Amino acid sequence: MPTPGFSPDMLDGEGVPIWITELASDDPNHAVHVVRDLEPADALEALGAKPRLFRPCELPRSKPDEWTSLPAAALAAEPGAGATLLAGRIGAWTFVYDDAGYTVGDDDTTALSANGRVAATSMFSINADASLTYAVDGEELAWINVDDLDLAEDLPGMPAELRAAFEAAGIVEHDYLDPGEPDYDICMRAVCASAGLYCTVEDLRRIPLLVTPFG
């Protein structure tokens, strides 16, 4: 498991950052946004969430069932009632976790990156579609589809900050992949590495969080 930026205890058995796994439902269709120098409430609003629905969040200790994410459990949301967004800030970076992938669209990452900011979005679908979008100052600079990713060929052409994130993410070898082939969770590791989100759910419990229904 050559993942230079992550110690083994930071990842689950598939190679997903453990804090994402602990937030997610058992069969996730989700996304993680990160943006530098933007407050959590402003990030949520940039993604189209309604400020009147924002509320402080204390994450529960467990999920009520396999279909409910931890943020949705905090809202007591019914399964299938739309998405739940969780936002917080660690250092210079804000993250937004979207437990249903509702905020993955053509303009979401660029909206976060407006006014000179840097933003990235990683998504993973229930069908194992996986990608990462990287934007600076309102312009999309890279879209990485894991199915088409060739690290040897593609890394040199990436923006420096994004290249460093993928180098930190490394690869996790699985029996169904060829040696050196990127695994489907590399983008989740890369988006975390880009924002320095080497954290646990317990770390999140110690910072102010906002949660909101969406959709």
Q: Are 49 and 212 in contact (CB under 8 A)?
A: yes
Alpha helices in the chain (DSSP H): 18-23, 40-46, 70-75, 108-112, 151-154, 160-169, 186-195, 201-205
φ, ψ of residue 146 to 5 degrees: the values are -60, -35
Mean pLDDT for the chain overall: 95
Both tokens assigned to 37: 């120098």
pLDDT for the residue numbered 178: 86
* Per-residue pLDDT tens over the stretch 86-128: 999 999 999 999 999 999 987 999 999 999 999 999 999 999 8
Q: Are 34 and 199 in contact (CB under 8 A)?
A: no
* Per-residue pLDDT tens over the stretch 17-31: 999 999 999 999 999
pLDDT for the residue numbered 1: 54
* Per-residue pLDDT tens over the stretch 121-172: 999 999 989 999 999 999 999 999 999 999 999 999 999 999 999 999 999 9
pTM reported for the whole predicted model: 0.96
39/45 Cα distance (integer angstroms): 10
DSSP letter (8 states) at residue 120: E
Both tokens assigned to 78: 């019914």
117/99 Cα distance (integer angstroms): 24
pLDDT for the residue numbered 61: 93
- Tokens 């498991």 — which residue? 1
DSSP letter (8 states) at residue 27: S
